Chains A and B, each alone.
Chain A
Amino acid sequence: MNFSPVHFIAVPLLAAFLIPIIGRFSKEVVKLIPGAVLLYLSYVAISLYPHTLQKPIVEIIAGFKPPFGITLYYGPLAAFLVTMIMIVGFVIWLYSYKFIIREPLEKYYMLFLLVIAGAAGIMITGDIFNMFVFLEITSIAAYSLTAFLRDKDGAEAAFKYLLIGSFSSTFYLIAVMLIYANTGTLNIADIATKMQSVPNQPKIFIMILFMVGFGIESELFPLNGWAPDAYSQAPSPIGGVFGGIVVKASTYAMMRFAFVLFDFRSTFEFILVMGVITMVIAEMSAMRQQQIKRMLAFSSIGQMGLVMIAFGVGTDASVQAALFQIFNHAIIKTLLFLAAGYLVFHSGSKKISALDGLGHNKPITSFFFALGALAIIGLPPFAGFWSKLYILTSTAKGGFLTVIVLILISGIIEAVYYLRVVSRLYFKKDVSKDSVRRTPLSGIVAMGVLAIVIILIGFYPHLILEYIQPAAHDLIDKASYIKFGLLN
C-alpha cells in the first residue's frame, strides 16, 4: 500500500477510536500511541514531499471524480504546512508525556490527536463543506481542551471560545450555501472556475462571511476576544497547539480562499488593513499584561497580524515571507509556551512577577525561554530575524511605507515586553523556594529540538527557503490549482 494524503486524517481517527479500548488495559500504552501516530505521519509527510514538487497529489475519495466526489489537494503548500504541524505536534506530545498528569489521560490524548487531524484536514481538503466538518472537529476538540483543567477560568474561557466559534461556523455555513446556490458545486477548484459568473452583491457578501468566519480562528481584530483567555487557561502544551497548529490551519484556509476565489484587489487591501490594526492593538495589549501566558497570547495575535500584512501585500516575495513567518511562529511560539509551562509550574504562579530570578534556579528552562524570546523579537542569528527581514523588504517593495514604520514600532514594543521578562529571569534576586522539582527529560528534549531548529534556521535560512518557494507558488498560482484540482 502506497502512502497517500488520506493517512493524515484516517490514521489519527483510527488511533483515537482505538484509545478507549486500549485504555481499559494499559494507560502507559495510551500515552505512547499519539507519539507513534505522529512520528509515522511525520515520516509519511516527509516521504510524500518530493512527489508534490513534480505535481500536486490529488487524492480522490470514494472513487468519484471531481467535482462529484470529495478530493484532497496535497500540493507543496499543504505538504509544507502538514509536515510542519506533524513535527510540532510530535514535539508537543513529547512534552505532554510527563507534563500532563491530570486524569482523564486517555481523553486528553484523544482530543489532542483529533485536533491535529482536524487541522490537517482543513489544510488538505479540496471541498468547502468538508472543510466545514474539519473546522468543527478542530474547534470542538479545542473547546474541550481549553476546559480540560476543569477550573473556574478554564470553563469560562472555553465557553467564550465556544460562543465566538459558533458564530464563525454559522457564518461559514451560510457562505457555503450561498456558494452552492450560485455556482452549483462544492469543489474549490470547480467553484474558482465559476466564480466569474456570480453577481457582485452575493460575491462580496460571501467574501465578508468567509473573512469573518476564518478571521475568528486566525485571531484577526476585533474577532480575537477568545484567544487570550483560551491560551492562558488551557494546559500549557495546548497553548502551543493553538498557536502552532489551529491558528495556522484557519490562516491557510483564509489565504487559499483569498487567492483562489476572491482574487480581487479589495480583498487583499482589507486583509492588509486588518493585519496592521490587529498587530498594533495586540502588541500594545501585550505590553500591559501581568500574566505570562496572556502576554504570549497577545504576542501570538500580533505575529498573526504580521503574517496577514505580508499576505495582504500579495506579491510573490511577500507571500514567501509570510509563509516563513508562519513557520517561525509555529516553532518559536510553541517553544515559548512549552518553556512558560514549566516556568509557571516551578514558580507556582501565572504572574510575570513570580518569575524573578528563576534563571539561576532553573537554568535550562529559562535558557529556552530566553532563546525563544530573542528569536521572536527578530534578533540575529535566530530564525525570527530572517522572516522579519523578508517581510520588511517585501513590504517596502510593495510600496507600503507607513506599514513598515508601524511594523518597526510594534517590533520595538515587542522587544520591550519580552526583554522585560527575560531580565526578570536573570537579573533579579532569586525568590523561589522550590529547588526540588526538576524539568523532566522528555520536556527538555522537546524544547531542545525546537531550539536547535531555531538556531539552525537562523544560520542557514536557505534550508527552509527551499521548501517555502514552491509552497508560495502553489498558493499564488490559481490556474494550476484549478487545473490539477479538477484532474485535467
Chain B
Amino acid sequence: MRKVTAIFVLAIFGFYMLSVFLTIPFGEKRDNVGQHYLANTVKETGAVNTVTSIVVSYRGFDTLGEVTVLFLAATGLGAILFDKKGKKRRLQHASLIVRVGAHLLYPLIVLLGAYVFVHGHLTPGGGFQGGAIIATGVLLMFMSYRSFETSHKALIYIESLAGIVFVLAGFSGLIWGQSFLQNVLPLGEPGRLLSAGIIPIIYIAVGFKVGAELTGLLDNLLKTIK
C-alpha cells in the first residue's frame, strides 16, 4: 500500500518536474552570467580554467562555505562516534602482493593528488579533487598495513592551519584591497604555474585541508568499534 502511494505521488511529481524542465531547451546557448565569466576570466583572474576561477575567485565565498561543510562533517562525525573510537583498525592482514603494490602506488597517488591541486588553475581539477585523491592513497595504505598510522596531531594542525590560511587570505583582500577574498597579488602571465594571483594559494590550502579532513574521517570510521 505504502509502495503504491509512494509510486503514485512520485509519478505525479516526476511528470510535473519533467514538463517544467522541457520548457528549458537542452543544449542551447542562453544569455547568462556564465558568458561574462568566459569572456573575462583570463583578463580578470589570470586563471586559464574558468571553472577554477569561478570556484575560487568569483564565487570563492561558496568555497569557503564548502570547506566548512567538510570540516563540519568531520567534526560532527567525531562528535557522534566520540566514545566508540578504538585504538586500532580491525582489518585482516593484506596479502604480500597487495602490500607491495600499495607501497609502490602510495607515493605516486600522493604525487598525483598534489599535482592536481597545484595545477588547479591550469588543468581540470583542484583542491577538492587533489585532496580526495590523496585521501584515497592514504586509505590504500590503511588497508594494506595494519601498523600504518597517520599522526593525529599533524592532521589536526594541517586541517586547522589550512583553514586559517584560507580565511586570512580572505582578510588580506579586506586589508589591502576593497573586499573580502579579493586578489591582492599580481596576476602573472596566464597559463604559467605561478599565475592567477591568490588562486593557487587558496587551492593548495584547500587541497591540504580536504586531504587531511578526509583522511581523518576515514581513520575515525575505520577505528570505530563494532
Contact = CB atoms under 8 A, between A and B. Distances in A.
Contacts of A6: 170, 174, 180
Contacts of A412: none
A61 B24 contact: no
Contacts of A137: 65, 68-69, 72
A251 B221 CA distance: 36
A130 B173 CA distance: 19
Contacts of B191: none
Nearest to B64: A13
B33 A60 contact: no
A24 B73 CA distance: 20
Contacts, number: 165
Interface string A110-132: 11001001000100000001100
Contacts of B31: 184
Interface stretch (A175-183, A329-337, A392-400): A175-183
Given A104-B79, A199-B23, A17 B174 contact: no
A62 B61 CA distance: 8
A69 B170 CA distance: 14
Interface stretch (A143-151, A355-363, A377-385): A143-151
Q: Residue among B20, B69, B83 with the most chain A CB within 10 A?
A: B20
Interface in B30-68: 30-34, 36-37, 44, 57-62, 64-66, 68
Contacts of B75: 107, 110-111, 144
B174 A180 contact: no
Interface stretch (B4-12, B105-113, B143-151, B153-161): B153-161
22 contacts: A13-B68, A17-B159, A60-B179, A61-B61, A64-B58, A67-B33, A107-B75, A110-B75, A130-B61, A133-B65, A133-B69, A134-B65, A137-B69, A141-B72, A143-B76, A144-B76, A155-B80, A178-B20, A184-B31, A201-B19, A202-B20, A202-B24
Given A4-B174, A6-B170, A10-B64, 13 more contacts: A10-B171, A13-B64, A17-B167, A62-B182, A63-B182, A70-B58, A111-B75, A111-B76, A121-B65, A136-B65, A140-B73, A186-B33, A205-B16
Interface of A: 1, 4, 6, 9-10, 13-14, 16-18, 20-21, 24, 59-64, 67-70, 103-104, 107-108, 110-111, 114, 117, 121, 129-130, 133-134, 136-137, 140-141, 143-144, 147-148, 150, 155, 158, 174, 178, 180-186, 199, 201-202, 205
Interface of B: 16-17, 19-21, 23-24, 30-34, 36-37, 44, 57-62, 64-66, 68-69, 71-73, 75-80, 82-83, 153, 156-157, 159-161, 163-164, 167-168, 170-171, 173-175, 177-183
